[in-house]
A and B are shown apart, each in its own frame.
Chain A
Amino acid sequence: MVERRPASMRSPLGRVAGLGSAKDGTGHWWAQRLSAVALVPLTLWFLIGALALPDFGYASVHHWLARPVDGVLAALGVVVLAYHSHLGTTVIVEDYVHAPAAKLVTTVGLRFLHVLIGAAGIFAILRLTIGTPLT
């Protein structure tokens, strides 16, 4: 038997008033699409550049990424990848993790982790491109 409770005296509007909307649904959706659109040329540029190399030796890869356009686009690619990955993994956690504390810890952890990934990627590319002389 389904437990019968007395019907609430509150109106449907009254029950939800003041709870507020998430307010960032459209922003999240738009950011996901925008970063997806940006990643199509960015990732393909990197892939085609890598596959056009004569070999995958250190010198070849170094010379490739030390070219200004390739270096900038590679750094941009890492940042947008980290951003897009952050948006996607956060949605996965929000969908499957229901306990409020676990959800908070995981989403904040994902945010920190993705900032770390982006920063590490930029640092690596800068160190390689302007911090290491070409041989």
Chain B
Amino acid sequence: MPARARPLSPHLQIYRWQMGNTLSIVHRMTGAALSIALVGFVAWLAALAAGPECYARAMRLLGGPAGALALSGFGFAFFYHLLNGIRHLAWDVGYGYGRRARHASGWLVVVGALALTAVAGLLVAHIGAGAHG
């Protein structure tokens, strides 16, 4: 035990909320969400392996409103985690540490994730519609 109370580093209560820590905690939250999505993905693979009837049931579930909502949410989590992960990898090799670069890449991640989610969603809807039409 320390002999006297020593100063602690600034924590959440005192640290000014800003872009860097927001994107950081969202990276962690999307990672946790994707771990849950992974269970769903393996369940989808298992339904596929179980045969056409089981797979059709799984796809009906995914095609419903709850499935669409889950797919959109997990889709955004995937693209966000992917883009921000690449941002982290760039930092790991020493690039993009400047204030402007950090902010620009941060916005690129947010806007890029939203755009990719929208594009992927439209493509999935288009392909899905083709299957029924």
Taking beta carbons and an 8 Å cutoff, which residues of A are in contact with B?
Answer: 2, 4-8, 33, 36-37, 39-40, 43, 47, 51, 53-58, 61-62, 65, 78, 81-82, 85, 88-89, 92, 117, 120-121, 123-125, 127-128, 131-132
A-facing residues in B45-87 (Cβ within 8 Å)? 45-46, 48-49, 51-52, 55-56, 59, 78, 82, 85-86
Known: A51-B123, A132-B49. A43 touches B4 (CB 8 A): no
Kindly list the 9 A-B residue pairs having the minimum CB-CB distance in the complex, ordered from nearest: A55-B131, A124-B45, A124-B49, A127-B49, A58-B52, A85-B35, A128-B49, A121-B42, A124-B46
B34's closest neighbor in chain A, by CB? Answer: A85
A51 touches B48 (CB 8 A): no
Which residues of A lie under 8 Å from residue B31 when comparing CB positions? 85, 88-89, 92
B26 interface residue (CB < 8 Å to A): no
B49 touches A117 (CB 8 A): no
In the complex, how many residues of chain B place their beta carbon closer than 8 angstroms to a beta carbon of chain A? 36
Taking beta carbons and an 8 Å cutoff, which residues of B are in contact with A?
Answer: 1, 3-5, 28, 31-32, 34-35, 38-39, 41-42, 45-46, 48-49, 51-52, 55-56, 59, 78, 82, 85-86, 88-89, 92, 120, 123-124, 127-128, 130-131
A56 touches B89 (CB 8 A): no
